[in-house]
A and B are shown apart, each in its own frame.
Chain A
């Protein structure tokens, strides 16, 4: 049996985790996650968290500001990795909490939890830099394929990374998807992780040529048909940490403060109590240095470059 508490302490300190340990963590996580449904049932009270994007120290702030996993239930809406400098530690920390407190952590897949995206947006580079090979990246990608696609809170709040799909009008239909695969470029599974809310009259093709935009009518129909009152999603940067749309029928929650270490935004988490009341907790980014002056975030200071 692994000493999860010891590994958790190492991860929180940003210390190196041996490859063999990562392998076993990922294997155990797969065994645990494969028993969860495409849409996980979660009870209140619960705290909903948006994108993390490898900002480990801000993830620690998130736990500190919202009660901590020992006392609070959490749903993470995906995009744990890429862009930040600590994608691996962030993801492994969440996996360890999942293994340690299975009923208190729900992890939903984001569009970044794929091989194709992590190859381009930082996670792969980070792993190769930290281990000298890509084995750990491959172990993590195996786990990605087992993450749930959504969650439902007290049968009243639907949680998903991106948004809705025209191919899935009910939560029950989402349960029929074969999710254990790389996220495809088309289909319902793709839509759930990639679509965006927009002020449009009906389903509309994104000008990029792929991906749907959905509007108030689609949200209202989904809420009514499934007898839910809120869709909580992430996927898009919000300067104020969260943004409600469509008369409060949909909310975007964003949990990576000072995104990419330069946006200067705040972040938020959304707590749902037993009466389904919403309470947003706002938090800021960690400082680039800790109390004793050691750098924990590489400072993005301009170098005096003799560019031409």
Chain B
């Protein structure tokens, strides 16, 4: 696992809160001015007020232990603590939609045994599994939900050799083979033979997963439509964020040969939400891979769009792009999945839609 040490808290978060507070104060002032509606003896049905009164908030928050929502007074940002028990389970409802999430510590040994021997038999588990974490988007009227969790993501990991090897694999194996022949006359001194240099545990040690979420319906309600696009113009607007969560589902440091991490985050505004599930793989000096799945929901139109993208490139090719920028530490960029996704060839894109 590799993650650059967290820089000091970015001011954008604080600024966003301050901006929202300022907007709220402004809105309150404007609402106060509108209260005494001007009365007139002359009224015609076609005449409308120039500004509609502000509608009451239509979302419901359930966010214990966290900073307050400036709009409805409830809280927004889950904040995991180190003290056990670590659990956070906030949610928000808008129309028929409910968005909820949960964060807990990594699985303990008892839970790991169950996953290893029953739920994910045959897979050597990643080192850090946040197996009790999830983000769920639910429409109660349609009896449909989509959830992102670690167990279902790991079920998509192939139980066969990925073919990928760490950078120094050839050196390591050739060294062992040379030692075997040198020690041939003294075979009794150790038990290594050429059979030991074959891989016995067959599974994808990079934990690559093309997981796109778990739907509650037995058959997917998504319809393939690659002409669909996420409405980036709407998403680029800085509408007030009413609910936000960001969590890791699993992470493995690949025995200090890179990183394999599945991260999922969601932001919910008054009219829409965007969820990003990102699988990021870096095998040092070998390759980088980013598999993104985005879920977009428009609440009033009851539209769900799911877009998946796959980026993959050779480590040295991607690194070469950063060298051009004359950075002091070019490898730092390869620890940033956003930078990697922007500088790595996209090899596949797929888009699906649900119109309830």
Are the CB atoms of B106 and A265 closer together than 8 Å? yes
Expressed in whole angstroms, the Cα–Cα distance for A208 and B252 within the complex equals: 13
Question: Are B196 and A304 in contact, with the CB atoms below 8 A?
Answer: no
Interface stretch (choices B23-31, B171-179, B215-223): B171-179
Interface residues of chain A: helix, strand, loop or mixed (majority): loop
The complex places the Cα of A302 from the Cα of B103 at a distance, in Å, of 12
- Closest beta carbon of chain A to B90's beta carbon, Å: 11
Interface residues of B in 110-136 (CB under 8 A from A): 112, 124, 127-128
Report if A119 contacts B (CB, 8 A).
yes
Is the C-beta of A16 less than 8 angstroms from some C-beta in chain B? no
Is B323 interfacial (CB-CB < 8 Å)?
no
Contact indicator A288/B82 (Cβ below 8 Å): yes
A186-B171 contact, Cβ under 8 Å, with A209-B165, A308-B236: yes
Interface size on A (CB < 8 Å)? 70
Known: A202-B196, A302-B78. A186 touches B5 (CB 8 A): no
Contact between B4 and A122 (Cβ–Cβ < 8 Å)? yes
The reply to whether the CB of A129 lies closer than 8 angstroms to some CB of chain B is: yes
A209 touches B9 (CB 8 A): no
**CB <8 Å contact, B84 and A306:** no
Is B235 interfacial (CB 8 A cutoff)?
A: yes
Once A125-B4, A205-B197 are accepted as A-B contacts, the answer to whether A167 and B267 lie under 8 Å apart by CB is: no
Chain B's closest residue to A237 (CB) is: B127
Chain A residues in 8 Å Cβ range of B190? 166-167, 169
Residues of A within 8 A of B155 (CB): none
Chain B CB count within 10 A is highest, among A111, A124, A128, A239, for A239
B202 interfacial contact with A, CB 8 Å? yes
Q: Give the residue name and chain of the A residue nearest to B106 (CB).
A: A263
Q: Which residues from chain B contact A112 at a C-beta distance below 8 Å?
A: 256
B105 cross-chain contacts in A, Cβ below 8 A = 239, 263-265
In the assembled complex, which residues on chain A have CB atoms less than 8 Å from the CB atom of B1?
A: 83, 121, 260
Counting chain B residues whose Cβ lies within 8 A of the other chain, the interface size class is 35 or more
B329–A129 touching, CB < 8 Å: no
What are the 8 tightest A-B residue pairs by CB atom distance, in nearest-first order? Answer: A264-B105, A209-B165, A209-B169, A303-B13, A186-B175, A185-B168, A210-B172, A302-B246
Q: A-side interface residues toward B, CB under 8 Å?
A: 83, 85, 111-112, 117, 119-122, 124-126, 128-129, 166-167, 169, 185-187, 190, 194, 196, 198, 200, 202-213, 218, 236-240, 243, 257-266, 284-288, 298-308
Residues of B participating in the A interface, judged by any CB pair closer than 8 Å = 1-6, 8-10, 12-13, 16-17, 76-84, 86, 104-109, 112, 124, 127-128, 161-162, 164-166, 168-169, 171-173, 175-176, 179, 189-192, 196-203, 205, 232, 235-236, 238, 241, 244-246, 248, 254-257, 265, 267, 274, 276, 284, 328-329, 331-332, 335
8 additional contacts, CB 8 Å, given A122-B2, A190-B172?
A196-B255, A239-B106, A263-B105, A265-B105, A284-B84, A302-B245, A302-B265, A304-B244
Q: Return 27 A-B CB contacts under 8 Å, by A number.
A: A120-B2, A120-B284, A120-B335, A122-B4, A169-B189, A169-B190, A186-B168, A190-B172, A198-B201, A200-B201, A206-B199, A206-B205, A208-B165, A209-B169, A259-B128, A260-B3, A263-B128, A266-B84, A284-B83, A287-B81, A302-B265, A303-B9, A304-B17, A305-B13, A305-B265, A307-B274, A308-B235
